[in-house]
Chain A
Amino acid sequence: MGLLFDIFINPFVEMASGLDFLLQVLWEGFVSGTLYALIALGFVLIFKASGVFNFAQGIMVVFAALTLVGLHALGIPAFLALILAVAIMALLAVTVERVVLRHLVNQPDIILFMVTIGLTYFLIGFGELVFGGDPKSMITEELGLPTGSTVFDVFDGIVILQHLDVAAAVISAIMVAGLAVFFNKTRIGRALRAVADDHQAALSVGISLNQIWAIVWFAAGIVALTTGIMWGAKSDVSFALQIVALKALPVLILGGFTSIPGAIVGGLIIGMGEKLFEVYWGGLLGGGVEGWFAYVIALIFLLFRPQGLFGEKIIERV
């Protein structure tokens, strides 16, 4: 009975008795959810446009952030470093297309997926070789990002909002809106969707696969850079991010692999759910449940709705 009480009643009592704390927890969940959503967004972009499940997205985030910080450390002014970092992501996109993807047209998805795991390892090694393996701090102030915080009085208590978090949410929203327009309203967007459906068919109607892939990897690179900056500003820039980046996978499951709104909603659900669970229920299990909560939620979710929140129902044909 005591256990049932601890599981089903007590956490809610705690929530109700400390509304300000609940809000704070939800806000923090929201912020980490935004970051998950951003990583998932990078996955979705590439998956939508090339059918490649890009395992390296997480490492691209780290790599982009490291590049930015590393360039700045060389004495390059922040904004120049930012532009250079964008250029390097473009270079990476073109290189990946030239060296890897071009040779793998029409290969089974699983091969493409494993290639990106290889790419992950390569980028880890390369990044550590060039920039060193130790954590670095993000050049938040130099980039002109706000750093202060505002304290709100609500429910007889306080909720603290970091300005940085607010900025992250706003920037993410702008980026998502931009991408949605890009995908749905432009000629390139249409070509991207055609490529995702069928490589050969897209080629046969005169779409340049190479160009499309480079563009979309570049777009994912920019998303990665943005994510890297936001994330780096909250904690350090280090390869430990890699494990956290894996959390984008359950987010994708929830949202569906091809849906941009799905990635956002999925990210927020996972981010907030995970924080709530850790704070209110984690103690029962001895803590540290953040490590697997997202995956288990995704797993349970999959059993009931294998196509994700926003995915289309799959009708199998023979």
Chain B
Amino acid sequence: MNVHSQAAAAQSDDGIALGADLLHVDNISLSFGGVKAIQDVSFDIRKGEIRAIIGPNGAGKTSMLNVINGFYHPQEGIISFKGRERRRMRPYEAAAQGIARTFQNVALFTGMTTLENIMAGRSLKMHRNFFWQMLYRGPALNEEMEHRRVVEEIIDFLEIEAIRKTPVGQLPYGLQKRVELGRALAMEPTLLLLDEPMAGMNLEEKEDMSRYVLDVNSQLGTTIALIEHDMGVVMDLADRVMVLDYGKKIADGTPDEVQANQAVIDAYLGVPH
């Protein structure tokens, strides 16, 4: 597929070898007033892997993703992405650097159709100026069509052709999640953050979504960071798993290592006091 080869080409451009560190998080701490959401967490994401972040509710997983794409600014710590260090940045800068994201509670543009939503993911790739936009002719039109083609490929890939022109507000939850994935894919990200992509889905939908996640990872070569509560899914998909509890990192390693870790078992099952 055209989009895949394009994306793969784009990703080899950043000069990071498969398996090398793509994202590095050092000693991040984040608090809201007195509430410490994240305390001194460090971890890395390697290029090409599927990295899972798990932990009980309120462990700081979503906050971690918010820090990575610049929505929250941590009080302490440094993040480096593609070898570039930063302390503060705006979400749109993160997007420009190639970080895409889906949300725990679907955050689609409800007033727009599926097609428009995925086209919205192409925003950063479109550059024609106001004058051509006004005329909707020439370069602006060509650009629009070029991106429409890419978007149609994504629609194809996710098997959502039938709902192309449906306003997403009217779609069932499972499909909304899929459209949201499509919108993130349209950004051709280097790093894709998925916040509970399978929450509230039935078994079949979970299987479908798992297949898409694996396909994206293997065919497009996109690095994925994933928050998920379904341990079966996590253990099957992830290359490495990090476990957070009360804002602290309590374990990090392959799924098997993490599964055997006593601290993790305690965190999930509780420890007798």
> Is A–B contact present in the complex under a CB 8 A cutoff?
yes
**Cβ of A318 and Cβ of B103 under 8 Å apart?**
yes
Note all chain A residues with C-beta closer than 8 A to B107: 318
Q: How large is the interface on B (under 10, 10 to 19, 20 to 34, 35 or more residues)?
A: under 10
Interface string of A279-318 (1 = CB under 8 A from B): 0000000000000000000000000000000000001101
Asked if B66 contacts A315 (CB within 8 A), the reply is: no
Q: Cβ of A315 and Cβ of B32 under 8 Å apart?
A: yes
Separation of A316 and B70 alpha carbons in the complex (Å): 13
> Distance (Å) between the CB of B93 and the closest chain A CB?
17
Q: What B residues does A318 contact at CB under 8 A?
A: 62, 66, 71, 103-105, 107
Measured CA separation A27–B67 after assembly (Å): 51
| CB proximity to A under 8 Å, residues B23-79 | 32, 62, 66, 71
- A315 contacts across to B, CB distance below 8 A: 32
Task: Give CA–CA (A316, B107) in the complex, Å.
Answer: 13
Beta-carbon contacts under 8 Å, B98-119 to A: 103-105, 107
Interface string of A252-286 (1 = CB under 8 A from B): 00000000000000000000000000000000000
Interchain nearest-CB distance for A318 vs B (Å):
6
Main secondary structure of the interface of B (DSSP, over half): loop
| Complex Cα–Cα for A5 and B32 (A) | 45
- Cβ of B32: which chain A residues have Cβ within 8 Å of it? 315
Taking the nearest CB of chain B, how far is it from the CB of A107, in angstroms? 14
| A318-B63 Cα distance, complex, nearest whole Å | 9
Cα-based distance from A315 to B34 in the complex (angstroms):
13
Determine how close the nearest CB of chain B comes to the CB of A313; give it in whole angstroms: 8
Query: In the complex, how many angstroms separate the beta carbon of B55 from the nearest chain A beta carbon?
Result: 17
Residues of A within 8 A of B71 (CB): 316, 318
Residues of B within 8 A of A316 (CB): 71
Expressed in whole angstroms, the minimum distance between the Cβ of B267 and any Cβ of chain A is: 23
Smallest CB–CB gap between B152 and chain A, Å? 28
Q: How far is the CB of B63 from chain A (nearest CB, A)?
A: 9
A98 and B52 CA atoms in complex are apart in Å by 52
Least CB distance from B195 to A in Å reads 8
A126 CA to B161 CA in the complex, in Å?
52
A102 to chain B, nearest CB (A): 23
A25 and B264 alpha carbons, distance in the complex (Å): 69
Q: How far is the CA of A315 from the CA of B35 in the complex (A)?
A: 12
Look across to chain A and name the residue whose beta carbon is closest to the beta carbon of B62. Answer: A318
Instruction: Render A147-159 as a binary contact track against B, CB cut-off 8 A, 1 for contact.
Output: 0000000000000
* Neighbouring A residues of B105 by C-beta, 8 Å: 318
CA distance A316 to B105 in the complex (A): 13
- A318, B66: Cα distance in complex, Å: 8
Q: Which of B104-142 contact A (CB under 8 A)?
A: 104-105, 107
Determine how close the nearest CB of chain B comes to the CB of A10; give it in whole angstroms. Answer: 44
CB A312 to nearest CB in B, in angstroms, measures: 11
- Distance (whole angstroms) from the CB of B212 to the closest CB of chain A: 22
Chain A residues with CB below 8 A from B104, complex form: 318
The residue in chain A whose Cβ has the minimal distance to the Cβ of B107 is A318
- Output the least CB separation between B180 and chain A (Å): 12
Min CB gap A108→B, angstroms: 10
Measured in the bound complex, the distance between the Cα atoms of B105 and A318 in whole Å is 7
| CB of B117, distance to nearest CB on chain A (Å) | 17
Q: List, in ascending order, chain A residues with CB within 8 A of B103's CB.
A: 318
Q: Look across to chain A and name the residue whose beta carbon is closest to the beta carbon of B71.
A: A318
Complex CA gap A316/B66 in Å reads: 11
Please measure, in the bound complex, the distance between the C-alpha atom of A315 and the C-alpha atom of B104, giving whole angstroms. 17
Q: How far is the CB of A315 from chain B (nearest CB, A)?
A: 6
Chain A residues lying within 8 Å of B66, measured Cβ to Cβ, are 318
Tell me the bound Cα distance from A91 to B66 in angstroms: 50
Residue of B nearest to A318 (CB): B103
Cα distance, A222 to B219, chains bound together (Å): 67
A316 to B62, CA, bound (A): 13
**In the complex the two chains form, what is the Cα distance from A119 to B66 in whole Å?**
42
- Least Cβ distance of B99 to chain A in Å? 14
| Least Cβ–Cβ distance between B109 and chain A, in angstroms | 14
Min distance, Cβ B108 to any Cβ of chain A, angstroms? 13
Neighbouring A residues of B62 by C-beta, 8 Å = 318
B216 to chain A minimum Cβ distance, whole angstroms, is 21
Least distance between B196 CB and chain A CB atoms (Å): 12
> Within A6-46, which residues are at the interface with B (CB < 8 Å)?
none
CA distance A318 to B65 in the complex (A): 10
A318 to B71 alpha-carbon distance, docked (Å): 9
Q: A97-121 interface mask toward B, CB cutoff 8 Å, 1 = contact, 0 = none?
A: 0000000000000000000000000
Complex-state Cα separation, A318 to B196, whole angstroms: 12
A282 to B62, CA, bound (A): 52
B 255-272 binary contact with A (CB < 8 Å = 1; else 0)? 000000000000000000
CB distance from A64 to the nearest CB of B (A): 39
Residues 169-201 of chain A: 1 if any B CB is under 8 Å from the residue's CB, otherwise 0? 000000000000000000000000000000000
| Contact pattern, B 170-202, Cβ under 8 Å of A = 1, otherwise 0 | 000000000000000000000000000000000
Complex A-B: 9 CB contacts under 8 Å: A315-B32, A316-B71, A318-B62, A318-B66, A318-B71, A318-B103, A318-B104, A318-B105, A318-B107
Question: Lowest 5 A-B CB distances belong to which pairs?
Answer: A318-B103, A315-B32, A318-B107, A318-B71, A318-B66
A contact residues vs B (CB 8 Å cutoff): 315-316, 318
